[in-house]
Amino acid sequence: MLRQQLLEVKDILAKSPMRKEGKKPVSPQTDGFSKIENQVDILLSNLEKELAIVLMGEVKSGKSTIINALAGGKVSPTNTLECTSAILEISYSPVERGEIVFHDGSSAVASVRSVFDTLEDRRGDEEFFRQCKAVKVGYPLPHLKNLCLVDTPGLATITESNEKTTTDYIQSADVVLWILNANTLGDTEVIARLSEVAKAGKPIVLVVNRIDQVDSQPERLVDYVRSELGIYAQEVFPLSAEQAFRGATEDDPNLTKSSGFWDLVDYLEQKINVRADDAKDESIRSSVEALLRYDLAMHDAYVKQLAFLEAELGRHHEEVMRRSDKIAFNLQNWLRDRVHAPGGRALLEKEMQRIIESRNMSPEEIKQELSLDAVKAWWSQVFTELGREFASEWEDAERAFIEDFSARMGSLDYRELAEAELAVGDEDDVMGRALTGIGEGLKIGGIAGAGLAAYVTWAGSYAASAFLPILGSFMPPLLVAGGLGGLVSSFLSKRKKKGEVQRALMTYVGQVRADFIGDFLVPQVYPAIHEQCNAVADKLHSQLREMLSNGWSEQDILALKDDLRAYMQSIDLLLPDAARTQET
């Protein structure tokens, strides 16, 4: 029945929209999915195995000595494994046998002594131990017939190369015995690592070892550990593993009893060993529940990131359209001011100065100075400047939005995303702590960092290129070619005083400028600028949506969210009633 349930879990997990191939509007944390699926496979393989107890703890916490006491004989060396970071699996065998299993699937079978000698000889050979998956030994000891003991590296010796192997052994365990050194209680690294192990959903029993080496009473040590770490554990036991092992090997029951060993053994036998099948099933069910909740939390966080993405794109659309009106207004004012700009930059300003300064300019020369060509030349230069202003305005606007967007994305509380609407409890809840950090590897959209900066640069370049067609479409009308030059030349032939010439020119040119604004800019150029701003706004928004959502349309994202909710509901139905999420 349990096997069928695990297979059903695998089948449902495979249907996750987040697990399907292809780009997503938000990049999922795929390593989290592979971890879940790998752990389910381990649970499936664990169904046929004997009850497994995995021991973990600090270096020199006494794990090997406790294993020797539990096995009723010296089955684990107390120094070699800590120095080599090897994982030792101890089980029953009719005859003693040893084996070194490598990650490539090969193995080296030999006597137990030979295997341990090889480990000792290879001490310090990092390359060799990177290739080793585990060391397996078998002994003809009655205590091991229904039990498999796994000795893991001390916390300080767990390396990246054996981290996954250690994690897999934890998942295959039916119970974790976590060994604490009574001399170093309160180590923050121990607390952090214990929190990580707790997320596997395995029953954890804490053993406070070396109680014979400290002055404090065992009861006080147990009370302290329960107050600090009790959230992770089903029970806490004080123990002197050294005394327990001596009692077993020297056949001294009083020494064994005073060590605290029988309390631990009685618990294991009554709560676990006597009900080995029930314990295994309960452990597997608990692990499946933890994995499903983890998977559900990842999907819940993903749905909320999609909502965040859609909200940001909606905000960008509103912002970019508002900016469009503002930029159009700014450019219209800039053009109006440019027509009258001082310092030789105004319309016909340079031509007017040349006429005033030259007393011998012929009528034809005056007509040429004040021709439509002169106006067009000025307009061409101004239009180039206007294009730069147009591009600069849009680039600054998009940069401001992207900086704001990046700041909000960077401040997303992924723990809140993962826990929202999940029955994970408060800050002291084990699963609540285990879910901390879900989503930290997710990326909003298809770009980040340099990609966002590149988008801002592209926005300015696109705005500049999009503005160029206006130059070909809108040219000043023949408002100055039909007589301004002639009127001025006629005037100059009658009045030769410089002051009068200057006033007359200013009057005529002033009228030209007013006509330029009223007959050309206002009815033709201003609407074109506004229309072009809206077109650029639409294009920029379309491009940003394309980049941030990896090409997914709004309708496609809505459909994806519906599929995700349907999937989450199917996962929700696999959980016990007390562990189910509220409706998302």
What confidence tens digit (pLDDT) does each residue in 215-272 have?
Answer: 888 888 889 989 888 888 889 999 998 898 888 778 888 888 888 888 888 887 666 5
Q: What is the pLDDT of residue 317?
A: 94
**Looking at the predicted structure, is the pLDDT value of residue 278 above 90?**
no
Confidence of residue 438 (pLDDT cuts 50, 70, 90): very low
Cβ-in-10-Å burial (0-12, 13-18, 19+) of 97 comes to: middle
Domain boundaries, the chain: 49-274, 296-579
CA–CA distance, 195 with 202 (Å, rounded to integer)? 12
Give the global pTM: 0.57
Task: Give the three-state DSSP class for 324.
Answer: helix
**Looking at the predicted structure, is the pLDDT value of residue 319 above 90?**
yes
Q: What is the pLDDT of residue 435?
A: 40
- Crossing angle of helices 349-357 and 498-515, in 10° steps, is 160
Distant-in-sequence, close-in-space partners of 321: CB < 8 Å, separation ≥ 6: 534, 537
Question: 26 or 501, which is more confident?
Answer: 26
Lowest mean pLDDT across 77-81, 350-354, 530-534, 538-542:
77-81
Closest to 192 in 3D by CA, of 442, 439, 437, 411: 437
Question: 238 or 75, which is more confident?
Answer: 238
Lowest mean pLDDT across 93-107, 184-198, 485-499:
485-499
Question: 326 or 504, which is more confident?
Answer: 326
Closest to 17 in 3D by CA, of 576, 583, 552: 552
Confidence of residue 469 (pLDDT cuts 50, 70, 90): low
Q: What is the pLDDT of residue 307?
A: 85
**Looking at the predicted structure, is the pLDDT value of residue 480 above 50?**
no
- For the residues 324-346, what does the mean pLDDT come to? 92
Q: What is the pLDDT of residue 6?
A: 80
Question: In three state form, how does the secondary structure of 37-77 look?
Answer: HHHHHHHHHHCCCCEEEEEEECCCCCHHHHHHHHHCCCCCC
Amino acid, res. 376: K
Helical residues (DSSP H) of 441-483, grouped into ranges: 450-467, 469-473
Confidence of residue 542 (pLDDT cuts 50, 70, 90): very high
Q: What is the pLDDT of residue 122?
A: 83
Which helix (H) or strand (E) segment holds residue 209: the answer is strand 204-209
Q: What is the pLDDT of residue 264?
A: 86
- For the residues 307-318, what does the mean pLDDT come to? 89
- For the residues 465-486, what does the mean pLDDT come to? 63
Question: 398 or 64, which is more confident?
Answer: 398
Distances (CA, A) of 193 to 70, 158, 197, 229: 24, 11, 6, 12
**Looking at the predicted structure, is the pLDDT value of residue 301 above 90?**
no
List pLDDT tens digits, range 356-382. Answer: 787 677 777 877 787 788 888 898 889
**Looking at the predicted structure, is the pLDDT value of residue 327 above 90?**
yes
- Crossing angle of helices 188-198 and 218-229, in 10° steps, is 60
List pLDDT tens digits, range 90-111. Answer: 888 888 889 999 988 898 888 8
CA–CA distance, 116 with 76 (Å, rounded to integer)? 9
With pLDDT > 70 as the criterion, what percentage of the chain qualifies?
78
Domain topology for 49-274: Rossmann fold (3.40.50)
**Looking at the predicted structure, is the pLDDT value of residue 534 above 90?**
yes
**Looking at the predicted structure, is the pLDDT value of residue 75 above 80?**
no
Side-chain-side CA neighbours of 549 within 13 Å: the count stands at 24
CA–CA distance, 145 with 268 (Å, rounded to integer)? 15
Closest to 306 in 3D by CA, of 540, 541, 538, 556: 556
